[in-house]
Amino acid sequence: MKKELLIGTALVSTLGAASVAEAVTATMSGNHQTGIEFDSPTSGTDTSAQKNDNNFTVSLSETTDGGMTISSSFKVMDENTKEDYDAGFTLAFTDGSKLDVINAGNASGSHAVSVPSSAGAEGVTVTTANSASTGLDFMTGSTVLGIEYHTAADFLADGLSASFSISTDNGAAPATTYKVDSHAAIGATYVTDLGDTALTIGAGYSSSEGSKTSTKPTADANGAHIGISAVTGDLTVAIGFADGDRITGDSNNVESDGEVVKAGVSYVTGDLTFKVGVAQGTAQDGSIGTAGTTEDSLDVTSASVSYAVAAGVTAILGYTDVDSSNEGSNDTTDGSAWYIGANMSF
Tell me the whole-structure pTM to 2 decimals: 0.84
Round to whole Å and give the CA distance between 60 and 311: 25
DSSP state letters, 32-78 = EEEEEEEEEESSS--EEEEEEEEEEEEEEEEE-TTS-EEEEEEEE--
Domain total of the chain: 1
Give the model confidence (pLDDT) of 3-49 as tens digits: 544 444 444 454 554 444 468 999 999 999 999 999 999 888 899 99
Q: Is the pLDDT of residue 78 over 90?
A: no
pLDDT at 249: 59
pLDDT tier, 171 (very low <50, low <70, confident <90, very high otherwise): confident
Give the model confidence (pLDDT) of 113-168 as tens digits: 999 999 999 988 887 788 889 999 888 778 889 999 999 999 999 999 999 999 99
Give the model confidence (pLDDT) of 285-311 as tens digits: 888 877 888 888 999 999 999 999 999
pLDDT at 77: 66
- Output the domain CATH number for residue 213: 2.40.160.10
Round to whole Å and give the CA distance between 235 and 173: 51
Q: What is the 3-state secondary structure (H, E, C) of 283-345?
A: EEEEECCCCCCCEEEEEEEEEEEEEEEECCEEEEEEEEEEEEEECCEECCCCEEEEEEEEEEE
Question: 241: buried, middle or exposed (CB in 10 Å: 19+, 13-18, 0-12)?
Answer: middle
Give the model confidence (pLDDT) of 189-247 as tens digits: 999 999 999 999 999 999 998 888 877 888 888 999 999 999 999 999 999 999 999 88
pLDDT at 215: 78
Alpha-carbon torsion angle 204, 209, 212, 217, nearest 10? 70
Helix, coil or strand: residue 24: coil
Q: From residue 251, how far is each of 126, 297, 337 by CA, in Å? A: 17, 21, 28
pLDDT at 126: 81
Cβ pair 334, 324 in contact under 8 A: yes
Question: What residues make up the domain containing 242?
Answer: 2-28+35-345
Which amino acid appears at position 171 of this protein? Answer: G
Round to whole Å and give the CA distance between 180 and 248: 10
**Taking the mean position of all CA atoms in its chain, how far away is CA 180?**
18
Q: Is the pLDDT of residue 278 over 80?
A: yes
Give the model confidence (pLDDT) of 46-76 as tens digits: 999 999 888 889 999 999 999 999 999 988 7
Which residues touch 290 (CB under 8 Å, ≥6 apart)? Answer: 218, 255
Q: Which of 75-84, 178-187, 324-333 has the lowest mean pLDDT?
A: 75-84
The helix or strand, by DSSP H or E, that contains position 200, with its residue range, turns out to be: strand 197-211
Closest CA to 135 of 113, 118, 157, 161: 113
Q: From residue 276, how far is each of 41, 98, 116, 230, 237 by CA, in Å? A: 21, 34, 7, 15, 10
Cβ pair 52, 344 in contact under 8 A: no
Q: What is the 3-state secondary structure (H, E, C) of 166-196?
A: EEECCCCCCCCCCEEEEEEEEEEEEEEEECC
Closest CA to 178 of 256, 285, 254: 254
pLDDT tier, 85 (very low <50, low <70, confident <90, very high otherwise): low
Closest CA to 317 of 300, 334, 342, 297: 342
pLDDT at 131: 86
pLDDT at 292: 80
Closest CA to 40 of 118, 120, 125: 125
Cβ pair 301, 321 in contact under 8 A: yes
pLDDT at 169: 87
Closest CA to 256 of 238, 242, 235, 237: 242
pLDDT at 175: 79
Max alpha carbon distance in the chain (Å)?
A: 63
Give the model confidence (pLDDT) of 96-115 as tens digits: 999 999 988 899 999 999 99
